[in-house]
Amino acid sequence: MSITSLLVPAILFFALGMFAQVIKSDLKFPPDMHKMIVIYLLIGIGLHGGKALTQGSMGDALPAVGAAFLFGIGLPILAYIILRGLGKIDPLNAAAISAHYGSVSAGTYMTAVAFLGGIGVTFEAYPVIMLAIMESPAIMIGLVLAGYSRKVMGGATKGEKGMYMHLLREAFTNGSILLLFCSMGIGAVVSDPSYHKIEPFFETIFMGALCLFLCDMGMEAGKRLSEFKAVGVFLVCFGIAMPLIGAICGLMVGHFWLGYSVGGVTLVTVLAASCSYIAVPPAMRLAVPEANPSFYLTLSLGVTFPFNVVIGIPLYYGAAQYLAGV
């Protein structure tokens, strides 16, 4: 791994966004532009993944589905144990933070796709299924951990069950998940001539849109830099250590269980190492109002996302190469 691996336009635009905030520039994107770009990118990922899946069989995709559920359930529980055991973080904040680290970051995944594309590395289509699946289990585990924490603290309420059912339903009907799954289905069923008509819009300019997205995310991450004092030294260290722990799990699963190529293992590792900053925060805000949003937002956007984008992705790719003996 060399410094040139970081000189990918998407990563550099992320750095540009952070730099703009550090120097207090008036650079900002138009309102709602972020949402529009996210919708475009999710549809593009789904279409590409669905089209690629037609080259394989659904039976081949089942191990990826199992791995997605394993990560979505196991990683938040592991994060909760670390936060409570080593960090002595209060139960409700620990539950809210843990849900973020069992979930996924579509932005990190898209950056990894851009990174692999920039160096000409191919990968399997199945990680995109994992991307679509991993969001919901982590939210559900977060709800379970929050309920457990309230019982431990003696603060359970009678209305919790109804609220939990509402949140579980939202986890499965979340807009990001809906876009990914339905776009994958469209990509899988449309004919090649029909797909080629939309290919220039959803594939040719995909990387350009990703650069805009990451520039915006860089600005958001830059806004969180001033909040590091609030989250404390342990949580900042956790925001770096937890993705590395997830990455080790992803490397082992991707290489030894799923048997993917270097590119595929890299994407599985990125998924296991990433942290949600879109779907999980509003869910935890509703389910665990006692938790401090500055903790999980600063960790996800200000620590883990920048770490993964700038250092993690090239590092995970290098580790995948090492395991493959490349």
The per-residue pLDDT string of the chain (326 residues; one tens digit each, 9 = 90 and over) reads 444 555 667 778 878 888 998 898 988 888 788 788 888 887 887 787 777 777 666 677 889 989 999 999 999 999 999 999 999 898 988 998 999 998 888 888 988 988 898 889 999 988 988 887 887 788 788 888 887 777 766 655 545 555 566 656 665 666 666 777 788 789 888 888 888 898 888 878 888 887 888 788 788 778 777 767 767 889 999 999 999 999 999 999 999 999 999 999 999 999 999 998 776 876 777 778 888 877 888 888 888 988 998 899 999 999 999 999 87
Distance CA 20, CA 153 (A): 43
Distance CA 223, CA 226 (A): 7
Nearest C-alpha neighbor of 143 from the set 83, 102, 82, 114: 102
Domain residues for the domain of 54 are 3-17+32-321
CATH of the domain at 193: 1.20.1530.20
Q: Is residue 22 part of a domain?
A: no
Q: Is residue 25 part of a domain?
A: no
DSSP state letters, 221-251: HHHTGGGHHHHHHHHHHHHHHHHHHHHHHHH
CA 106 to chain centroid: 5
At 182 the pLDDT is 86
Q: Is residue 27 part of a domain?
A: no
Q: Is residue 141 part of a domain?
A: yes
Distance CA 142, CA 154 (A): 18
Q: Is residue 24 part of a domain?
A: no
Phi-psi region of 57 (alpha: psi -120 to 50; beta: other; left: phi over 0): beta
At 1 the pLDDT is 46
Q: Is residue 23 part of a domain?
A: no
Give the H or E element holding residue 46: helix 33-53
At 192 the pLDDT is 86
Number of domains within the chain: 1
301 touches 220 (CB < 8 A): yes
Q: Is residue 326 part of a domain?
A: no
